[in-house]
Amino acid sequence: MTASRTRALRLPLAAIVCSVVLLSGCSDSGSSGSGSGDSGSSGRKKTSTTQAAQAAAPATTNDLQSDYQKVIKGVLPSVVQIQASSDLGSGVVYDDKGHIVTNAHVVGSEKTFKVTTANNENELTATLVYSYPEQDLAVIKLDKVPDGLRAATFGDTSRVQVGQIVLAMGSPLGLSSSVTQGIVSATGRTVSESSGEGESGATIANMVQTSAAINPGNSGGALVNLNSQVIGIPTLAAIDPSFGNSAAPGIGFAIPASMVKKVADQIIKDGKVTDSGRAALGITGRTVVDADFQAAGVAVVDVKSGGAADKAGIQPGDVITQLGDTGITTITSLSEALAAEKPGQKTSVTYTRGGTAKTVEVTLGEQ
């Protein structure tokens, strides 16, 4: 699936309607009782039961509203607005040392940024620590840590379930400290970004799909559960090619917290990503088309010396058509197939060379 970065989208707010089942008693005005006293007592009991049930409805709604407000109060101070020279995005305070995690596409190629926190309108300055476009993540660091800076708590992605209520926090369209609501619509999605230049950007596996509105400026913010834990970094919104690549309402994607922590911890410790956990074939390729101008595979342009493809005998000019059981028609489909694999795993690669199809076993390398 291809999605576009949120800075180029307009999505309506998503909403959840919370239903409360009301218990109602049945009046029996036509029945005869043994006496007027019994009849009156029964009527009072029924009325009391009905009133109690009706009173339960606003209480339940108020409880949910109170949960929302508690989460917002607890997490929003950890969500910041990031201003680059031409782009605006969001970030999440990662620790008390001033490290902030965000999307790589928010920082772009820049090295310095202006940051505004939810509790302070004064602009702070920050410097890039490292950007990792392959996973669309980056870490920046405040030049001076203000008093009261609060780090967010990141949750366990493996415990995220479809149907969970979530809140998306960030600065959509420059409106700082904004919150939208929705649910977790799906987990384990593999999504390829659109680079905006006719080519695919990063391909990201295991993303959390949500119905919470994700608008331009939300990128790098926080997708939060009702336990006040960040379960993902909102990054992408789906596009609908049947409507001129316009935004598909209520379909957004967040990088899972587990990947965010894996990448951020390495960047903070080593200044770069040393263990991506992402499988690689070790080639540079491009999409090729058949006689009917339909995408038909990935032509190998270059092979990395000593890489997985090189060791398997794959050469420039070969056209890859299958990885394992997955058919390959475009460079995006190859990226998505690799995103589902792990470094060191063995798989098969089918390719054509001079019109002849060949299949070889490949031990995947690491990106």
Out of 4, 87, 131, 136, the active site residue is 136
Band of pLDDT at residue 276, cut at 50, 70 and 90: confident
**pLDDT > 60? residue 131:** yes
Is 99 part of the annotated catalytic residue set?
no
2-10+153-259 has CATH 3.50.50.60 classification: no
What value does the mean pLDDT take over residues 78-99?
A: 93
Residue for token pair 């709604």: 61
Is 136 part of the annotated catalytic residue set?
yes
For the chain, give every residue range classified as CATH 2.40.10.10: 2-10+153-259
CA 287 to chain CA mean position, Å = 27
What value does the mean pLDDT take over residues 268-277?
A: 92
Q: For residue 2, how many C-alpha atoms fall within 13 Å in the half-sphere facing its CB?
A: 16
362 near 308, Cβ under 8 Å? yes
What value does the mean pLDDT take over residues 44-50?
A: 46
3-state SS class at 50: helix
Tell me what pLDDT residue 11 has: 30
pTM of the full structure: 0.75
Out of 219, 228, 333, 335, the active site residue is 219
Is 219 part of the annotated catalytic residue set?
yes
The tokens describing 60, both together, are: 């339940």
Tell me what pLDDT residue 179 has: 94
Among residues 238, 206, 194, 162, the alpha carbon closest in space to that of 341 is found at 206
Tell me what pLDDT residue 12 has: 31
% of the chain beyond a pLDDT of 90: 61
- 165-170/112-117 β-pairing: unpaired
Tell me what pLDDT residue 361 has: 96
CA 338 to chain CA mean position, Å = 19
Among the four given CATH numbers 1.10.1740.110, 2.30.42.10, 3.30.450.20, 2.40.340.10, the one describing domain 279-366: 2.30.42.10
Tell me what pLDDT residue 43 has: 45
What value does the mean pLDDT take over residues 316-338?
A: 92
Tell me what pLDDT residue 36 has: 40
**pLDDT > 50? residue 9:** no
For the chain, give every residue range classified as CATH 2.30.42.10: 279-366
167 near 184, Cβ under 8 Å? no
**pLDDT > 70? residue 251:** yes
Tell me what pLDDT residue 195 has: 61
Out of 105, 131, 185, 335, the active site residue is 105
Q: Average pLDDT over the chain, rounded to whole?
A: 83
